[in-house]
Structure 1
């Protein structure tokens, strides 16, 4: 799994100009799921994201997790994070998980985050979405479960 995590002051996803997910302070997460990903990847990524200390404490240091900062998450599936651009100019997405694998893992990822008491909003898997956000910092972190 590959996640692009942005600390935001607000983020929203719309489908056909209709808001389907919106948060204020928290993380905007673009989540790519690889064809070989499994439950272990979900568990690892949820633990890393929930404990990631990038929110400021009272001293102004990035020392708080999303749980401690009482932030929310906007989670959007993003198969294009597994684009292979080595050959030619048209990306190949053959390493991205097919929907029958990706959807259950994406839903489990969101369910596990919610199970920690974090408010999680989502986009819609496979939909054409318009995502807007205000990156706070800016803070952008990439985590790939294959790099653990």
Structure 2
């Protein structure tokens, strides 16, 4: 039995279960400003606290949706340990992704992962499908929900 076979059997036993929940990350205005600079997305709703407080229902600035999405890699690193014989894990994309609730500046978010499915892809790879929810501390509605695909490649 190969390492890929062993990993597939191990993962199949946990389909439908929670993989884990990441640590909280605070979304400060400085983080939002830095993301705006990197992405060249300087929309005022993210960068002008006074205007955002007056002209939006959010009470202030909010994080870019793509900032929240970008942090999912960090959340995954907090939660998903490499498997025996794993050479690398590759982001394979998303089947579904929805931004459900804005993330206010100063709030904290974290990722919660559930294993949805696994599929063998050749001799050394497994495609892992995870349900991901990014929670806002104290919020009722997630910031985003996604069906995230990751390719696990074995030595």
Report the TM range for the smaller structure's normalisation: under 0.3
Q: Which has the higher contact order (CA 8 A, sep 6+)?
A: 1
Larger radius of gyration: 2
Higher helix fraction (1 or 2):
2
